[in-house]
Structure 1
């Protein structure tokens, strides 16, 4: 299962990620309309977005497929002394009470590697939104799949955890298989080797816009790289904002 081993070291590996920029982008969109009370965070991982939102006064439900990631999120929540509902669930089978907003950040939707799965997820999100509610998410761009991941190998070395990260790209499907080998230091000083495989796929923006529209969304806006600017050919991360119309 994805993140089965990685959960324990995920926050260390992602420590330099711009979570503040994700949060600013989300709250910037919330500020344009009525502030949501209840937010569903799809693919919430270890809760690094959900927990700050809860501390800012939102009622948050975090949804993830990985029980290991949710266990880490729960421990972090207890340390931060906030209340969040954690749900182990596949976003393609979302079954929860309605919310005022649904977010899915850190390229969680890029793990949906079949078109039908993306379309079903969009339909589920639409059904779980109150009228006027926002759906905000980001995904890897086709450019990033082809030219940043490509068939590259990345390495990271640290006293506590190191990894070898190999990427294998299918350019026709805009799909990348990530093969990760971790070396995790154990209490006795030895290193345990663990391996994981992750599969991600990019879609053309026009496809995602069409599927959002087919699901019933309106006011669809696409920007890039944490900004309000439209995507360029070399944009690496695409941000989508859509709204469920009021009747």
Structure 2
């Protein structure tokens, strides 16, 4: 059972502001981490991989015309590995660990937990390594064009977000308490994809005419903010659902 701590109640009173602040940090560090990371992992298997631009287009759910604008922004598959330097890898690792720390901080805020000890930073390394493997699988092998592929992709996403909470929270919250948050996050991401099809896809086309490639970058950054809101908001919804389940169970016992 998760107790209602003062920190947890504070999050709820200022949910909108704090959630948006964490989402902004997620988007900023995510753009510096996820974009180059996905470029590299997509290029690692150029024959079977979809490439980052195609992966991002599918994630955004954009139209064919807008997909062309996204593809013009990024390096074609196979070139990222050849042009990556040692300094670039070091910088990517630094941003990646900062990104991991930002995600962990958001999870701790949601659950009202104190920051983890400094020696627990190894969890950031493990999480970043698993994230890289998950992104590689998403960019090269996981497909969603068939019902079976879609189910595998959804199940894989739920397992990843379920495990991510457990890892970054240092095992301070039980597995069963974390499952509703993982499910809510994946459902939120599916909803964000529908929203992207209706809003972001037309925005890419119109912003490209008005601002050129920079307009597409603005849309991608806005999408990352939405992903951040969904990730932290999903965990928050998961905590509320878990506490409600516990409350109802205790009420039935008495």
TM-score (norm 2): 0.23
Larger Rg computed on CA atoms: 2
TM-score (norm 1): 0.23
More strand, by proportion: 1
